[in-house]
Amino acid sequence: MVIAITTPRGHVGSHVLRVLVQAGVRPRVLMREPDALDPVWRERVDAVRCDQDDGDAVVAATRGAEALFWVSPTSFSGDPVEGHARLGAHVARAVVENGIARTVFQSSVGAEKRRGAGEIDGLARVEEALDATGAPVLHLRSAYFFTNLALDLDGIREGVLHTAWPLDAPMPWVDPRDIAEVAAARLLAPWSGGGVQAVHGPRDLTFTEVAEVLTAVLGRPVRAERVSDDDVRAGLASVGLGGAQVEAIVGMAAGLRDGFVPAQPRSVLTTTPSTLAGWVDAHLRPLL
């Protein structure tokens, strides 16, 4: 079995790589710079140089693959939504030309809106491109990553968790490792139906509750504080992001925070086990 995976150093892709290797598979990893892969994996994978924004390279790198794990990385030049749409066309072409039997795409909660959710609109374009192939494709619509907390380390150190979301609006949160385990399970097992599977984490949390978890685990007071969209824009612009990139990020919160409900309800199939408290203790605490 040849299983090709993208972003093998990412929050999700790195865990997909580990699970596949531990399952006895020798995955084919698609990387712009294969030498950047951790040496511990190099003898256990087939690393292929591939720029995901090069359609010919994507087709060549996935030739002969039975299964594909596709992550659409954010474009930091130009409009991220347009970038995702372009990559979606590349992977759709590869799926058709190479007859890939099953593709697992890492999408996001909110892609079902199709329009009005910032950068997530780009993932919706990838979903549409893959669906148009008629091939077996599974979209994993993932919840808000625990790892996003690491983007506000300075604030957490100062005891404040900043967010543009309403503080008491619950939403699903997930450990990327859990997404990877679902993805790996679907890559390893034959299927032909595809569709959508949400990955919602153990339970919905408000930002107020997240701050309470941080307080309890870190042993220091942390409170949630809502900031305006304009404050977010200013912060993103200050680190050099362009206008389209800023609006793509701001639009994710703006498009999902007011009454949005995921199309796929929480169930035994969408609920995963890893808790926020455990993740904070293992991964966030060492960074502070």
Among 3-7, 76-80, 119-123, 269-273, whose mean pLDDT is lowest?
76-80
Arithmetic mean of pLDDT, 232-251: 89
Tens of pLDDT, residue by residue over 184-195, are 999 999 998 889
pLDDT value, residue 259: 83
Asked if pLDDT for residue 128 goes beyond 90, the answer is yes
Residue 118 burial (CB count, 10 A): 20
- 201, 173 Cβ separation under 8 angstroms: yes
Q: What is the pLDDT of residue 78?
A: 86
pLDDT value, residue 239: 84
Q: Where does the pLDDT of residue 76 fall: very low under 50, low under 70, confident under 90, or very high at 90 and above?
A: confident
Dig out the tokens for 129 from the structure.
Answer: 């491109």
- Mean of all residue pLDDT scores within the chain: 95
**3-state secondary structure at position 240:** coil
pLDDT tens, 15-63?
999 999 999 999 999 999 999 999 999 999 999 999 999 999 999 999 9
Q: CA-CA distance, 264 to 179, in Å (whole number)?
A: 16
At residue 240, does pLDDT exceed 90? no
Q: Tally Cβ neighbours within 10 Å of residue 81.
A: 23
pLDDT at residue 238, as a whole number: 87
In this prediction, residue 87 carries a pLDDT of 97
- Look at residue 193 in the predicted model and tell me its pLDDT: 83
Q: What is the reported pLDDT for 134?
A: 96
Mean predicted confidence (pLDDT) in 129-155 = 96
Q: At 257, is the pLDDT very low, low, confident or very high (cuts 50, 70, 90)? A: confident
Under a CB-based contact definition with an 8 Å cutoff, are residues 12 and 179 in contact?
yes
Candidates 64, 1, 9; CA nearest to 32 is 9
Kindly state the average pLDDT of the residues 127-143.
97
Gap between the Cα atoms of 254 and 188, Å rounded: 37
Residue from 127, 138, 56, 50 nearest 98 by CA: 56
The pLDDT confidence band at residue 77, using thresholds 50, 70 and 90, is confident
Segment (H or E) for 67: strand 67-70
pLDDT digits (tens, 9 = 90+) for 197-215: 999 999 999 999 999 999 9
pTM: 0.95
Closest CA to 131 of 186, 67, 79, 88: 88
Contacts of 278-285 with C-beta under 8 Å, sequence gap 24+, read 279/146, 279/175, 280/146, 280/149, 280/213, 280/214, 280/217, 280/218, 281/217, 283/146, 283/147, 283/150, 284/149, 284/150, 284/156, 284/214, 284/218, 285/217, 285/218
Share of the chain above pLDDT 90, in %: 89
In the chain, % of residues over pLDDT 70: 100
Average pLDDT of the residues in 220-241:
92
